[in-house]
Structure 1
């Protein structure tokens, strides 16, 4: 603040006003100069996002260029689950008659064909069943002769009709019993032709238990001398040629699933190659444990691969709603800095020194699959650009070195 010790003259006041005006002008000019300097620095910083490289340099850096083009990237919905056996590809082996284990032909882990013997049982009920058949067969032969005789008497008007009817009823009953016993014995593997006459009958005392399907012996809880009943599970067999994946789908993705749809399956075990399966059915209830709906995907196990029930599996379902065209590049083209993504691109125009100008551009990611990802440039670019598809970090290091 300026103090005057005496009343200023008009001339002095004029000089003072001029001095103030000059000071204000200088300050204003200084502000404009500062703004221009900051703007210039920003332009320089923006220009530093580019670099120039020759074809030789690109070759040494192993840089490859690709013209992205616009395409629709099919994104996937991933579903987790477990491998399980198909109902017709697993079997519990048991005996229809009680008996003691006489001999076991397989061990756990063995592959066994359909109809191949698993074990034999020594069975007293089998002997009794054959004896019952022989008695029934003898009685049937006797009633056959008696029925024939009664038929002749009735036709000759000699025999009583009542007696004929009694014999006929007994004969039909014994025929039915013989057929039932024959079916039981044939089910147990007994050749009934060996039991046609008591004098030449061959009584069998062993039951051979065979596998109903081809597959691997999963469990074999038996040993020689053990008493096996019809309720005992003597072995478990599982066929691994065809299996199913039980995948869990949450309600937000349920509209993407339909029966007959193909599903790509991959396994946690990296040695097992990916396979393609087909949705065979969708459950109509929500699982109370995981709050999801289970879909069953049938697939064929890869040759010479170890895939067993209980293994974890992941299914990939294509999202049918992804139809919008966008720039798509491989993941190797992306340069990540914190939470942002960038790509380098060029229009392949060479300057006087034979160098191409590359620009670093920030992009926004869209849909993606295992190989490609959609990108969206934040600033407009021309259609004839080429994107660096590999080693973007090498270009970034070169750009920083030039900076």
Structure 2
């Protein structure tokens, strides 16, 4: 009897245990089920159809193209400034004069010495002609006396004197031809060089504009001493501007001469100015920037300016270099694109909050958008920054703030 009771108790315990386990599994199943059915909160963006451009952004400083800097060629104080900064000038117009009293005296002395040698040369050349005429006369006299000597009409002494006269005149002519005149001509040539140098030095005291343009700077003052090599003035054409900048090696690979550039300057320009890339350096160089050392390619942008152009040399500007433009393209936010199994995917959300995975074919890209060749349509709503939990068929709730 006792054995039967024990068996019954054991059976009862097993039954209660099975019931408790079943209830636990049912509860867990409900809990898990409730979790699976809970929608995931997401932020979405919209696929749009709009104009598209692929651009590179950079900063730079406005410069005058072909700016000419004029440096002092002599050490001498400035005695007169004939223009002022901002004034328009013509090529050859006087900008300033430096003191030149010593140079004027040097030119006068050199000119006098040159003129004196010229006069001396004329005199020697005249003497040469006279000597050549005299040589002809004594030669004829010798020939006449020689004939008379053979007839016994003159003495040997007279003949020898006539011969000596020839030798004397020949020596005079030879000395003029081979020594005095060549030496004087060489001195005159040297004098000519010295005179040109003196005049050139004097001319350097008068500083003129090398081009038509505007005086950009005049960093000197009247009566102040100036050393050779000092910057006297800079001149440039304010209607021909440029910007030189460095583009990182990745972006520079897509640049081409002729790319259009939009130029902006906050607070100065109400609408962008236009420019065009006119030069791309053939090599890249390591440059120190505010973001550290970068490998950059130098680029020069030509800027067309007008009389009322608001950007002045030295102004900092922002540039958008336009690589490609399309009037119409399907665009998806950059954050919506992810990769699954090596494929480009976006997750669109239908009106019932259900996720639909869509494989897409990408085209160009910008800082904010990808161009989509196929796979989505304008006005599709797509999940931004999808997590691993976002998959095809998952239910989501769109954040009301989006």
Match of 2:375?
383
Residues 203-260 of structure 1 show CA distances to partners (whole Å, capped at 9, x for unaligned) of xxxx5321234555444233333344545433344566354525375xxx47965997
Find the residue that maps to 1:91 and give its secondary structure. Answer: strand
Mapped pair 1:163 → 2:176: yes
TM-score when normalising by structure 2 = 0.57
Residues 253-277 of structure 1 show CA distances to partners (whole Å, capped at 9, x for unaligned) of 4796599767887778333646443
In the aligned structure 1, how far is the partner of 2:250 from the partner of 2:399?
Answer: 48
List runs of 5+ in structure 1 lacking aligned partners.
Answer: 1-5, 52-62, 191-206, 319-326, 336-341, 347-355, 376-381, 393-397
- Does the C-alpha gap of structure 1 residues 28 and 100 become closer, same or farther in structure 2, counting only changes over 3 Å? closer
Match of 1:279?
280
In the aligned structure 2, how far is the partner of 1:135 from the partner of 1:50?
Answer: 94
- Does the C-alpha gap of structure 1 residues 399 and 292 become closer, same or farther in structure 2, counting only changes over 3 Å? closer
1:142 CA drift (Å)? 0.9
- For residues 331-370 of structure 1, the aligned pairs below 5 Å read 368-370=365-367
Match of 1:296?
298
- Does the C-alpha gap of structure 1 residues 153 and 172 become closer, same or farther in structure 2, counting only changes over 3 Å? farther
In the aligned structure 2, how far is the partner of 1:21 from the partner of 1:49?
Answer: 47
Match of 2:145?
none
- For residues 237-276 of structure 1, the aligned pairs below 5 Å read 237=235, 241-243=240-242, 245-247=244-246, 253=249, 269-270=265-266, 271=269, 273=273, 275-276=275-276
For the pair shown, which has the larger CA radius of gyration, 1 or 2?
2
Match of 1:306?
311
- For residues 136-215 of structure 1, the aligned pairs below 5 Å read 136-153=113-130, 155-156=132-133, 157=135, 158=169, 159-165=172-178, 166-182=180-196, 184-185=198-199, 188-189=202-203, 207-215=205-213
1:28 CA drift (Å)? 1.9
Residues 106-154 of structure 1 show CA distances to partners (whole Å, capped at 9, x for unaligned) of 2334444433321234520232133135314522441342343245356
- Does the C-alpha gap of structure 1 residues 93 and 371 become closer, same or farther in structure 2, counting only changes over 3 Å? same
1:178 CA drift (Å)? 2.3
In the aligned structure 1, how far is the partner of 2:49 from the partner of 2:265?
Answer: 36
Partner residue of 2:22 out of 21, 28, 35: 28
1:81 CA drift (Å)? 6.7
TM-score when normalising by structure 1 = 0.57
In the aligned structure 2, how far is the partner of 1:176 from the partner of 1:225?
Answer: 35
Match of 2:157?
none
Find the residue that maps to 1:234 and give its secondary structure. Answer: strand
* Contact 1:83 1:312 survives alignment (8 Å): yes
Residues 325-384 of structure 1 show CA distances to partners (whole Å, capped at 9, x for unaligned) of xx84256x979xxxxxx97556xxxxxxxxx667667999x9952452479xxxxxx935
* Contact 2:85 2:216 survives alignment (8 Å): yes
1:39 CA drift (Å)? 2.6
In the aligned structure 2, how far is the partner of 1:152 from the partner of 1:36?
Answer: 137
Match of 1:225?
223
* Contact 1:97 1:126 survives alignment (8 Å): no
In the aligned structure 2, how far is the partner of 1:373 from the partner of 1:328?
Answer: 6
* Contact 2:118 2:188 survives alignment (8 Å): no
Partner residue of 1:118 out of 92, 95, 114: 95
In the aligned structure 1, how far is the partner of 2:47 from the partner of 2:192?
Answer: 85
1:91 CA drift (Å)? 0.7
1:38 CA drift (Å)? 3.3
Match of 2:72?
94
Match of 2:138?
none
In the aligned structure 2, how far is the partner of 1:150 from the partner of 1:41?
Answer: 128
In the aligned structure 2, how far is the partner of 1:174 from the partner of 1:329?
Answer: 85
